[in-house]
Each structure stands twice: as C-alpha cells, then as structure tokens.
C-alpha cells in the first residue's frame, strides 16, 4: 500500500505531501497518523519550516465520505462518533503545537475537513483558482468546521459558509477574507511558498518556536482549542438526528454524487431529494 503522506527534505524545508490523488487526497485517519508521525520525526531535525501540500489535482477534498465509511455513521454510537472526531482534532492540534512553522500550500480543492485542517496551520498560501469550502455539499453535520473559520474570516462570513452547504469561494476571495495570507497564480504557488519558507528559515529555530507559541497563545486565550474540541460534540449530536440519518442513508443507497445532484435539484425547504 502506498504511503498516504510523502516526506521530502529540501534544505531547511520539509515538504509533506498528502498522497491519495485518486481520492483527491480525502482525509483518512491513516493519513493523519502518518502526518503526526512525520511531524514528530521532524521536531528534533534541522528543519526550520514545514509545508503541507497535496498531490494531484487537490490539496484535499475533505473527509473521505465513502458510502460504507464511518463518516456516514455506519455502526457508530454517538459517543464513538464524538471520540472519532475528537481524534481528528487531536491530529490537527499536532500541527498547531509543532515547534516549527507550518505553511499550507493550497491548490485545487480545499473542502470541508481540509479547510478545518488549514485553520491549524500557521500560514496559508492559496492558488488564485483554488476552490475553498467550509461545509460539505450535503447538510450532514454542524458546528465542527465553521466555528474555526470565524477566527479567520469573522462570524458573519463563517455563518455564510456554514449555512449554505457546498458554498464555495476561490483563492482570491479566501485571501481577501483572511482565510489565507495571500493568493498567487497556481503556476507560482510552489515557488512562492519556497521563497517564503526560505525567508522564515533565516530565523533561529528557538526564536521561531517561541514566536509561534506566543502568537498561538493569543488564539488559545480566545478559546480556539476549546471551540475545536466542542465541535466534535455538536457534530456528533447533529449526526444523530433523523434528518441527517436520512441523508446518510441516501448516500449509502445512491452514492455521494447522485445524492448531491438530488439535493441541488430539490425545491428549497423540502426533503424531495430523499425520493426518486
């Protein structure tokens, strides 16, 4: 089985590449475990900056919504569901607490859970034509991802992205709103990130670590990590509702693409999408 994460060293830069291109780098626990392991290995190395990126056409399409997977609530109790999602937060927090700055280099799709992961990175550079979304294309959860967006784009924009399933913005808008530091042409993304990382790498490692710790503490005092943990609980609660259960069953029955098509074609305020 191919590694879900590739590690390449380039001087003071470590490039960590999500490597499930056939699934648009959909997030799996295996991938996150490999990410956590790679970050652990890099802690005591001479790496100064870590870059997260995706292989193929996307940074990541979010959590892997396989029809038989746990993301659709197959044989999962509410507590087990909460624990599963808390495990995601634990892995994302590994990025937050990593002593070296972590840059997200976003191209293609950055959807739902992938955008959540990005919120734990220190700097985000996005391709101008990237497609960024906070919520899945179906209303299958609540309060897990979008609250973290509010720390970057403000509450009103976070609500816009949350209340409209599949609401998408491009990379330029992501930068204008503050979700990303800067948007650059897709062809220039890697070079721009490399130049930024090399500039950061001039700072001594101990100084970088304390700078990151000091700035992170501001958001922690504002409740960032508490909000992240609470999201696992609210999302598990929503997963247990009858309405979301019906959507999960629809995806298992007809597949994700067909379920999305039916949802988008249904009359607003109805559940017509549940029926042929």
Instruction: Give residue-wise pLDDT tens across range 2-29.
Output: 699 999 999 999 999 999 999 999 999 9
DSSP H/E element including 78:
helix 78-97
pTM: 0.94
Within this chain, do residues 123 and 27 fall inside the same structural domain, yes or no?
yes
Within this chain, do residues 232 and 268 fall inside the same structural domain, yes or no?
no
CATH of the domain at 166: 3.90.226.10
- pLDDT over 80 (residue 269): yes
- pLDDT over 70 (residue 67): no
Between CA 18 and CA 14 the distance in angstroms is: 13
Of the two residues 217 and 269, the one the predictor is more confident about is 217
Q: What is the mean pLDDT of residues 269-273?
A: 90
Within this chain, do residues 185 and 268 fall inside the same structural domain, yes or no?
no
Sign of torsion over alpha carbons 165, 166, 169, 171: positive
Within this chain, do residues 197 and 253 fall inside the same structural domain, yes or no?
no
pLDDT of residue 69: 53
Q: What is the mean pLDDT of residues 60-70?
A: 74
3-state helix, strand, coil in the chain (%, to 5): 50, 15, 30
- Domain residues for the domain of 199 are 5-237
Within this chain, do residues 52 and 174 fall inside the same structural domain, yes or no?
yes
Within this chain, do residues 190 and 252 fall inside the same structural domain, yes or no?
no
Structure tokens at 95: 């990025």
- Give the CA-trace dihedral at 86, 51, 106, 18, to 10 degrees: -60
Question: pLDDT tens digit string along 153-197?
Answer: 999 999 999 999 989 999 999 999 999 999 999 999 999 999 999
Q: What is the mean pLDDT of residues 197-202?
A: 98
Within this chain, do residues 53 and 183 fall inside the same structural domain, yes or no?
yes
Structure tokens at 106: 């976003």
% of the chain with per-residue pLDDT over 90? 84
Sheet containing 182-184: give its strands across. 5-10, 13-18, 49-54, 102-106, 123-127, 182-184
Counting the structural domains of the chain, the total is: 2
- pLDDT over 90 (residue 132): yes
Mean pLDDT check: name the lowest of 66-75, 143-152, 209-218.
Answer: 66-75
Within this chain, do residues 245 and 146 fall inside the same structural domain, yes or no?
no
């Amino acid at each position: 089985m191919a590694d879900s994460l590739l590690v390449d060293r380039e001087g003071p830069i470590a490039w960590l590449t999500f490597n499930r291109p056939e699934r648009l780098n959909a997030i799996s626990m295996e991938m996150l475990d490999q990410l956590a392991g790679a970050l652990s290995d890099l802690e005591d190395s001479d790496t100064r900056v870590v870059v997260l990126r995706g292989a193929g056409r996307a940074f990541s399409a979010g959590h892997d919504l396989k029809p038989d997977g746990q993301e659709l609530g197959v044989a999962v109790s509410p507590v087990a569901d909460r624990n599963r999602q808390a495990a995601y937060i634990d892995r994302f927090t590994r990025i937050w607490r990593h002593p070296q700055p972590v840059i997200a280099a976003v191209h293609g799709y950055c959807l739902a859970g992938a955008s959540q992961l990005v919120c734990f990175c220190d700097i985000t550079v996005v391709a101008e034509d990237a497609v960024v979304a906070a919520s899945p294309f179906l209303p299958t959860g609540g309060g897990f991802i979008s609250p973290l967006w509010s720390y970057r784009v403000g509450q009103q924009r976070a609500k816009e992205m949350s209340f409209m399933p599949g609401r998408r913005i491009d990379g330029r808008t992501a930068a204008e709103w503050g979700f990303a530091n800067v948007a650059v042409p897709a062809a220039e993304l890697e070079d721009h990130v490399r130049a930024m990382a090399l500039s950061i790498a001039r700072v001594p490692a101990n100084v970088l670590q304390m700078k990151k710790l000091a700035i992170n503490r501001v958001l922690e005092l504002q409740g960032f990590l508490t909000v992240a943990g609470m999201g696992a609980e609210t999302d598990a609660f929503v997963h247990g509702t009858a309405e979301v259960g019906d959507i999960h069953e629809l995806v298992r029955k007809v597949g994700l693409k067909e379920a999305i098509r039916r949802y988008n074609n249904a009359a607003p305020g109805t559940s017509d999408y549940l029926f042929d």
